[in-house]
Amino acid sequence: MRLTGSIFAAMLTPFNEDESLSLDGVAPLVDFILAQGLDGLYASGSTGESVMQSLEERRAFLSELGDYAHDKCTLIAHVGAASTSEAVALAKVAAAKRFHGVSAVPPFYYKHNFSDISDYYKAIADAAGLPLIIYNIPALSGTDIPTDKLLELLSDDRIAGVKFTSQDLFQFGELRNKAPDKLFYFGTDEMFIGAAAAGTDGGIGSTYNLIGDVYVGIQNAITKGDLDTARTLQRKANDLIGILFQTGVLPGLKHALNRLGVPVGPCRRPFSAPSARSLRLLDAWMDENGFVAQNG
Protein backbone atom coordinates (compact mmCIF):
# COMPACT_ATOMS: atom_id res chain seq x y z
CA MET A 1 0.00 0.00 0.00
CA ARG A 2 1.31 3.47 -0.89
CA LEU A 3 -0.02 6.78 0.33
CA THR A 4 -1.52 9.00 -2.34
CA GLY A 5 -1.69 12.78 -2.49
CA SER A 6 0.78 15.53 -1.77
CA ILE A 7 -0.79 18.42 0.18
CA PHE A 8 -2.18 17.58 3.63
CA ALA A 9 -3.48 19.88 6.35
CA ALA A 10 -2.07 19.22 9.79
CA MET A 11 -5.52 19.41 11.34
CA LEU A 12 -6.52 21.54 14.24
CA THR A 13 -8.57 19.75 16.89
CA PRO A 14 -11.95 21.37 17.57
CA PHE A 15 -12.74 22.14 21.20
CA ASN A 16 -15.79 23.53 22.94
CA GLU A 17 -15.53 26.82 24.81
CA ASP A 18 -14.77 24.91 28.03
CA GLU A 19 -11.80 23.26 26.23
CA SER A 20 -13.49 19.87 26.05
CA LEU A 21 -13.21 17.89 22.82
CA SER A 22 -15.83 18.84 20.22
CA LEU A 23 -16.61 15.90 17.97
CA ASP A 24 -19.37 17.99 16.38
CA GLY A 25 -16.66 20.31 15.10
CA VAL A 26 -14.88 17.63 13.08
CA ALA A 27 -17.15 17.58 10.01
CA PRO A 28 -17.28 21.37 9.45
CA LEU A 29 -13.49 21.61 9.72
CA VAL A 30 -12.93 18.69 7.33
CA ASP A 31 -15.34 20.20 4.80
CA PHE A 32 -13.69 23.63 5.00
CA ILE A 33 -10.20 22.22 4.50
CA LEU A 34 -11.05 19.87 1.66
CA ALA A 35 -12.96 22.60 -0.20
CA GLN A 36 -9.56 24.25 -0.76
CA GLY A 37 -8.45 21.38 -2.97
CA LEU A 38 -6.18 19.52 -0.55
CA ASP A 39 -5.42 15.82 -0.91
CA GLY A 40 -5.76 14.79 2.69
CA LEU A 41 -5.61 15.33 6.42
CA TYR A 42 -2.91 14.67 8.99
CA ALA A 43 -4.67 14.34 12.33
CA SER A 44 -3.77 14.48 16.03
CA GLY A 45 -0.31 15.96 15.58
CA SER A 46 1.39 19.10 16.89
CA THR A 47 -1.20 21.39 15.32
CA GLY A 48 -3.92 19.23 16.84
CA GLU A 49 -2.63 19.86 20.38
CA SER A 50 -2.31 16.09 20.80
CA VAL A 51 0.20 16.24 23.64
CA MET A 52 -2.44 18.02 25.74
CA GLN A 53 -5.06 15.34 25.20
CA SER A 54 -5.74 12.06 26.95
CA LEU A 55 -5.51 8.74 25.17
CA GLU A 56 -9.30 8.47 25.21
CA GLU A 57 -9.72 11.91 23.65
CA ARG A 58 -7.29 11.07 20.86
CA ARG A 59 -9.09 7.76 20.27
CA ALA A 60 -12.44 9.54 20.08
CA PHE A 61 -11.15 12.20 17.68
CA LEU A 62 -9.49 9.71 15.33
CA SER A 63 -12.59 7.51 15.39
CA GLU A 64 -14.89 10.41 14.49
CA LEU A 65 -12.57 11.58 11.74
CA GLY A 66 -12.17 8.10 10.27
CA ASP A 67 -15.92 7.55 10.22
CA TYR A 68 -16.58 10.90 8.54
CA ALA A 69 -13.70 11.36 6.13
CA HIS A 70 -12.33 7.96 5.08
CA ASP A 71 -14.00 8.11 1.68
CA LYS A 72 -13.36 11.84 1.18
CA CYS A 73 -9.55 12.03 1.17
CA THR A 74 -6.29 10.41 2.28
CA LEU A 75 -6.12 10.21 6.08
CA ILE A 76 -2.92 9.99 8.13
CA ALA A 77 -3.25 9.50 11.89
CA HIS A 78 -0.46 10.85 14.03
CA VAL A 79 -0.14 8.33 16.86
CA GLY A 80 3.13 9.46 18.43
CA ALA A 81 3.28 9.36 22.21
CA ALA A 82 5.71 9.26 25.11
CA SER A 83 5.06 5.55 25.60
CA THR A 84 5.10 2.76 23.05
CA SER A 85 1.92 1.22 24.46
CA GLU A 86 -0.06 4.43 23.94
CA ALA A 87 1.26 4.86 20.40
CA VAL A 88 0.37 1.23 19.62
CA ALA A 89 -3.15 1.69 21.00
CA LEU A 90 -3.70 4.69 18.72
CA ALA A 91 -2.21 2.84 15.75
CA LYS A 92 -4.81 0.13 16.26
CA VAL A 93 -7.58 2.75 16.21
CA ALA A 94 -6.23 4.12 12.93
CA ALA A 95 -6.24 0.66 11.41
CA ALA A 96 -9.76 -0.09 12.65
CA LYS A 97 -11.09 3.22 11.31
CA ARG A 98 -9.54 2.65 7.87
CA PHE A 99 -6.95 5.41 7.89
CA HIS A 100 -4.57 5.23 4.98
CA GLY A 101 -1.41 5.75 6.98
CA VAL A 102 0.03 6.52 10.39
CA SER A 103 2.77 8.83 11.58
CA ALA A 104 4.64 9.38 14.82
CA VAL A 105 7.14 11.68 16.45
CA PRO A 106 9.92 9.87 18.28
CA PRO A 107 9.08 9.04 21.91
CA PHE A 108 9.56 12.32 23.73
CA TYR A 109 10.64 13.88 27.04
CA TYR A 110 13.15 11.19 28.04
CA LYS A 111 16.33 10.81 26.01
CA HIS A 112 16.05 7.39 24.39
CA ASN A 113 18.81 5.61 22.51
CA PHE A 114 18.38 4.83 18.83
CA SER A 115 17.67 1.15 19.41
CA ASP A 116 14.70 2.05 21.62
CA ILE A 117 13.43 4.59 19.07
CA SER A 118 13.71 1.99 16.32
CA ASP A 119 11.80 -0.58 18.39
CA TYR A 120 9.09 2.03 19.05
CA TYR A 121 8.59 2.59 15.32
CA LYS A 122 8.59 -1.15 14.60
CA ALA A 123 5.88 -1.68 17.23
CA ILE A 124 3.73 1.05 15.66
CA ALA A 125 4.18 -0.43 12.19
CA ASP A 126 3.27 -3.90 13.47
CA ALA A 127 0.13 -2.60 15.19
CA ALA A 128 -1.12 -0.45 12.34
CA GLY A 129 -0.36 -2.57 9.29
CA LEU A 130 -0.35 0.74 7.38
CA PRO A 131 2.36 2.89 5.76
CA LEU A 132 4.25 4.70 8.52
CA ILE A 133 5.59 8.25 8.20
CA ILE A 134 8.29 9.28 10.68
CA TYR A 135 7.57 12.76 12.03
CA ASN A 136 10.93 14.52 12.32
CA ILE A 137 10.45 17.73 14.32
CA PRO A 138 13.54 18.13 16.50
CA ALA A 139 12.65 21.63 17.75
CA LEU A 140 9.60 20.28 19.60
CA SER A 141 10.28 16.57 20.10
CA GLY A 142 13.75 17.15 21.52
CA THR A 143 15.09 14.31 19.38
CA ASP A 144 17.23 15.13 16.36
CA ILE A 145 17.65 11.89 14.44
CA PRO A 146 20.83 12.07 12.30
CA THR A 147 20.63 11.47 8.57
CA ASP A 148 22.27 8.03 8.72
CA LYS A 149 19.84 6.87 11.41
CA LEU A 150 16.82 8.19 9.51
CA LEU A 151 18.05 6.27 6.48
CA GLU A 152 18.41 3.17 8.63
CA LEU A 153 14.78 3.52 9.73
CA LEU A 154 13.71 4.07 6.14
CA SER A 155 15.30 0.77 5.11
CA ASP A 156 12.25 -0.92 6.71
CA ASP A 157 9.69 -1.45 3.93
CA ARG A 158 6.85 -0.61 6.32
CA ILE A 159 8.21 2.91 6.81
CA ALA A 160 6.97 4.91 3.85
CA GLY A 161 8.77 8.17 4.45
CA VAL A 162 9.30 11.24 6.61
CA LYS A 163 7.34 14.33 7.58
CA PHE A 164 10.28 16.71 7.73
CA THR A 165 9.62 19.76 9.92
CA SER A 166 12.99 21.47 10.11
CA GLN A 167 14.83 24.31 8.40
CA ASP A 168 17.69 22.01 7.39
CA LEU A 169 17.15 21.83 3.64
CA PHE A 170 20.58 20.25 3.23
CA GLN A 171 19.54 17.24 5.32
CA PHE A 172 16.24 17.15 3.47
CA GLY A 173 18.06 17.00 0.15
CA GLU A 174 20.42 14.29 1.36
CA LEU A 175 17.52 12.13 2.49
CA ARG A 176 15.68 12.73 -0.76
CA ASN A 177 18.78 11.78 -2.76
CA LYS A 178 19.66 8.65 -0.77
CA ALA A 179 16.12 7.27 -0.40
CA PRO A 180 14.49 8.18 -3.72
CA ASP A 181 11.77 5.54 -3.36
CA LYS A 182 10.48 7.01 -0.09
CA LEU A 183 7.99 9.84 0.49
CA PHE A 184 9.16 13.16 1.91
CA TYR A 185 6.62 15.72 3.08
CA PHE A 186 7.87 19.13 4.17
CA GLY A 187 6.43 20.66 7.31
CA THR A 188 7.99 24.12 7.67
CA ASP A 189 5.30 26.23 6.03
CA GLU A 190 7.33 29.42 5.62
CA MET A 191 9.99 27.54 3.60
CA PHE A 192 7.76 25.32 1.46
CA ILE A 193 8.91 26.88 -1.81
CA GLY A 194 12.48 25.76 -1.08
CA ALA A 195 11.45 22.18 -0.42
CA ALA A 196 9.21 22.17 -3.49
CA ALA A 197 12.19 23.24 -5.59
CA ALA A 198 14.33 20.54 -3.92
CA GLY A 199 11.84 17.85 -4.88
CA THR A 200 9.46 17.31 -1.99
CA ASP A 201 6.58 14.87 -2.44
CA GLY A 202 4.34 17.45 -0.82
CA GLY A 203 3.68 19.33 2.37
CA ILE A 204 1.92 18.87 5.70
CA GLY A 205 1.35 22.10 7.57
CA SER A 206 -0.70 23.97 10.14
CA THR A 207 -1.49 27.04 8.03
CA TYR A 208 -2.95 24.65 5.43
CA ASN A 209 -6.10 24.66 7.60
CA LEU A 210 -6.75 28.22 6.40
CA ILE A 211 -4.76 28.66 3.17
CA GLY A 212 -4.16 25.14 1.91
CA ASP A 213 -4.90 26.25 -1.63
CA VAL A 214 -1.82 28.49 -1.50
CA TYR A 215 0.45 25.48 -0.99
CA VAL A 216 -1.33 23.54 -3.73
CA GLY A 217 -0.56 26.53 -5.93
CA ILE A 218 3.12 26.66 -4.96
CA GLN A 219 3.57 22.96 -5.66
CA ASN A 220 1.85 23.26 -9.04
CA ALA A 221 3.81 26.39 -9.99
CA ILE A 222 7.17 24.80 -9.18
CA THR A 223 6.21 21.72 -11.19
CA LYS A 224 5.50 23.99 -14.17
CA GLY A 225 8.66 26.06 -13.67
CA ASP A 226 6.61 29.18 -12.88
CA LEU A 227 8.84 30.69 -10.21
CA ASP A 228 7.13 34.09 -10.20
CA THR A 229 3.80 32.54 -9.21
CA ALA A 230 5.46 30.32 -6.62
CA ARG A 231 7.24 33.32 -5.06
CA THR A 232 4.06 35.38 -5.00
CA LEU A 233 2.14 32.60 -3.26
CA GLN A 234 4.90 31.95 -0.72
CA ARG A 235 4.95 35.68 0.02
CA LYS A 236 1.21 35.54 0.68
CA ALA A 237 1.70 32.62 3.06
CA ASN A 238 4.60 34.31 4.82
CA ASP A 239 2.69 37.55 5.33
CA LEU A 240 0.11 35.50 7.22
CA ILE A 241 2.74 33.48 9.07
CA GLY A 242 4.45 36.68 10.22
CA ILE A 243 1.18 37.75 11.84
CA LEU A 244 0.59 34.29 13.32
CA PHE A 245 3.98 34.49 15.01
CA GLN A 246 2.50 37.47 16.87
CA THR A 247 -0.87 35.89 17.73
CA GLY A 248 0.62 32.48 18.43
CA VAL A 249 0.24 30.13 15.46
CA LEU A 250 -2.45 27.84 16.87
CA PRO A 251 -4.49 30.50 18.72
CA GLY A 252 -4.33 32.70 15.61
CA LEU A 253 -5.47 29.95 13.28
CA LYS A 254 -8.33 29.04 15.59
CA HIS A 255 -9.40 32.69 15.77
CA ALA A 256 -9.38 32.91 11.99
CA LEU A 257 -11.46 29.78 11.49
CA ASN A 258 -13.93 30.70 14.22
CA ARG A 259 -14.30 34.10 12.54
CA LEU A 260 -15.17 32.31 9.29
CA GLY A 261 -17.86 30.28 11.03
CA VAL A 262 -15.83 27.06 11.31
CA PRO A 263 -16.33 26.10 14.98
CA VAL A 264 -12.91 25.01 16.23
CA GLY A 265 -13.15 26.76 19.60
CA PRO A 266 -10.15 27.90 21.68
CA CYS A 267 -6.76 26.36 22.23
CA ARG A 268 -6.23 24.54 25.48
CA ARG A 269 -4.45 26.27 28.30
CA PRO A 270 -1.65 27.07 28.90
CA PHE A 271 -2.07 28.61 25.43
CA SER A 272 -3.30 32.14 26.02
CA ALA A 273 -5.62 34.27 23.93
CA PRO A 274 -3.87 36.49 21.36
CA SER A 275 -3.42 40.18 22.10
CA ALA A 276 -5.99 42.61 20.75
CA ARG A 277 -3.32 44.28 18.62
CA SER A 278 -2.24 41.02 16.97
CA LEU A 279 -5.86 40.06 16.29
CA ARG A 280 -6.45 43.39 14.57
CA LEU A 281 -3.52 42.58 12.26
CA LEU A 282 -4.92 39.13 11.56
CA ASP A 283 -8.44 40.40 10.93
CA ALA A 284 -7.08 43.04 8.56
CA TRP A 285 -5.08 40.42 6.63
CA MET A 286 -8.18 38.25 6.34
CA ASP A 287 -10.29 41.16 5.10
CA GLU A 288 -7.65 42.15 2.55
CA ASN A 289 -7.43 38.58 1.25
CA GLY A 290 -11.13 37.92 0.86
CA PHE A 291 -11.84 35.88 3.98
CA VAL A 292 -15.33 37.09 4.86
CA ALA A 293 -16.15 36.98 8.55
CA GLN A 294 -19.33 35.08 9.49
CA ASN A 295 -19.63 36.42 13.02
CA GLY A 296 -19.62 40.16 12.63
What are the residue numbers of the active site? 135, 163
Beta strands in 18-130 (DSSP E): 40-43, 74-78, 101-104
Maximum distance among all alpha carbons in the chain? 54
- Spatial contact of 26 and 64, defined as CB atoms under 8 Å apart: yes
Nearest CA among 32, 92, 87 for reference residue 66? 92
Spatial distance between the Cα atoms of 224 and 230, rounded to a whole number of angstroms: 10
Question: What crossing angle do the helices spanning 227-247 and 208-224 adopt, rounded to 10°?
Answer: 160
- Spatial contact of 106 and 143, defined as CB atoms under 8 Å apart: yes
Q: Measured between alpha carbons, how far is residue 242 from residues 17, 209, 236, 259 in Å?
A: 27, 16, 10, 19
